[in-house]
Amino acid sequence: MFKYYRYRQAGIIFILIVFIAFFSAASPFYRYRTDNMFSLGTPNMFRLGTPLSGRDFSFSVSAFVSVSNFFCKSASASERTITNKLGMTFVYVPAGKFLMGSPKNEIGRDWNEQLHSVTISKGFYIQETEVTQGQWKKLVGFNPSSFPDCGENCPVDTISWDQCIEFIRVLNDWEGITKYRLPTEAEWEYACRAGSNTAFANGPITQEFCTPVDPVLDQITWYCGNSGYKNPPDVLRPHPVKTKKPNKWGIYDMHGNVQEWCADFCGWKSRWFGRTGVVTSTYKDNIVDPISKEGDRRVFRGGGWYQPPRHCRSAKRSYYSPGAKRNSLGFRIVREQ
């Protein structure tokens, strides 16, 4: 009996030594293990394949704590992007603080872009592209786009704010959750800027109008300076998503291709000076998670395929009535954690 326990104890110790050696950074298996573990395919489901990109896994002798930390970190790394049943991929945007609005010397600045500090208190997922014609049609069964020949990978357009809300309701019902919604105006600008403080996520604005081409904006989106042929100008059009560079957080086309509805309500005329434009009470310094619920108009953000650089800036604010449809107006959605 004594020998049996000694053998069993020796066996357990041997297994622990092999386990720790296998999962240590010095192990020849370490690189394979950290580069090929898990990637998130659909919400709450894992599949093999995609690298974890630089997660540092170190294992101590405390086997149970180490294993727990290993699996927690794996899940966290792979959930930086998630893909839902409709094929929409979402990028994780961490909580943080940023300056919303524009400085007074920014080219193309509007009167209602007061610079102020905003805190986004909770991280969220935002769709890496605008909702595409294929995604809309797959869920709803028809394609409202004014550019059906552009293809299923082009952004859907000619949809009202009311239709966006209904699309999101159907998507939530289909997946049996209540996590999908439009981004708030603040969330949209925060995700658009991706840590930048310039007019565009990748640099400053250099041209106010369609020509000559703005070299900074040309890299990251489709607008009137690059979305068609120079002559005649009436061939400007939207383009398939993900055909320009993303911002630093991996989000595409926030400055152009199509404009994007947001969740915020707004007024449209300043009572003090009679100027038109988005009017909300949310542009206050040190505000946390702002969203406007007052007004008979709805906010939309970003530029479109036919618009000049001044309308494609991160801080640009625009509005329409909730039933309005335009061939340059689409949306992307947010998925809460």
For 119-158, write each residue's pLDDT tens digit: 999 999 999 999 999 999 999 999 999 999 999 999 999 9
Task: Tell me how crowded residue 298 is: count the other CB atoms within 10 A of its CB.
Answer: 26
Six token digits for residue 233: 């100008």
Quick one: 173 and 257 in the same domain?
A: yes
Q: Which of 56, 79, 102 is the last residue of a domain?
A: 79
Quick one: 99 and 243 in the same domain?
A: yes
Quick one: 184 and 68 in the same domain?
A: no
Residue 298 in any domain: the answer is: yes
| Type of residue numbered 230 | K
Q: Is the dihedral of CA 235, 239, 245, 251 positive or negative?
A: positive
Quick one: 206 and 69 in the same domain?
A: no
∠ CA(203), CA(206), CA(209), 5° rounding?
125
CB 113 within 8 A of CB 311: no
Residues of the chain with pLDDT under 70: 1-78, 229-234, 272
Quick one: 94 and 47 in the same domain?
A: no
pLDDT attached to residue 42: 30
pLDDT attached to residue 94: 98
Six token digits for residue 52: 């974890």
Residue 116 in any domain: the answer is: yes
Q: In Å, how far are 38, 55, 65, 308 from 69, measured between CA atoms?
A: 15, 12, 6, 49
Q: In Å, how far are 64, 110, 117, 133, 183 from 279, measured between CA atoms?
A: 55, 12, 18, 31, 18
- Cα distance between residue 181 and residue 178, in whole Å: 8
pLDDT attached to residue 235: 85
Domain count, the chain: 2
With 0-12 / 13-18 / 19 or more C-beta atoms within 10 angstroms meaning exposed / middle / buried, residue 24 is: middle
Q: Which of 79, 106, 139 is the last residue of a domain?
A: 79
Quick one: 25 and 131 in the same domain?
A: no
pLDDT attached to residue 16: 54
pLDDT attached to residue 18: 44
* Dihedral in degrees, nearest 10, Cα atoms 63, 64, 69, 72: 140
Q: Which of 49, 79, 109 is the last residue of a domain?
A: 79
Quick one: 69 and 168 in the same domain?
A: no
Cα 299 vs. chain centroid, distance in angstroms?
17
CB 256 within 8 A of CB 302: yes
- Cα distance between residue 334 and residue 87, in whole Å: 14
Residue 84 in any domain: the answer is: no
pLDDT attached to residue 141: 96
Residue 197 in any domain: the answer is: yes
Quick one: 326 and 232 in the same domain?
A: yes
Name every residue whose Cβ is closer than 8 Å to that of residue 336 and which is 6 or more positions away in sequence.
122, 124, 125, 179, 180, 181
CATH code (residue 264): 3.90.1580.10
Quick one: 322 and 208 in the same domain?
A: yes
The two most distant CA atoms of the chain are separated, in Å, by: 94
Write out the residue range of the structural domain in which residue 48 sits. 2-79
Quick one: 93 and 200 in the same domain?
A: yes
Quick one: 123 and 209 in the same domain?
A: yes
Nearest Cα neighbor of 192 from 335, 313, 106 is: 313
Residue 247 in any domain: the answer is: yes
Quick one: 214 and 123 in the same domain?
A: yes
Residue 260 in any domain: the answer is: yes
∠ CA(246), CA(247), CA(248), 5° rounding?
120
pLDDT attached to residue 54: 35
Which region, left, alpha or beta, applies to residue 274 given φ > 0 means left and ψ of -120 to 50 means alpha? left
3-state secondary structure (DSSP) of residue 169: helix
Residue 227 in any domain: the answer is: yes
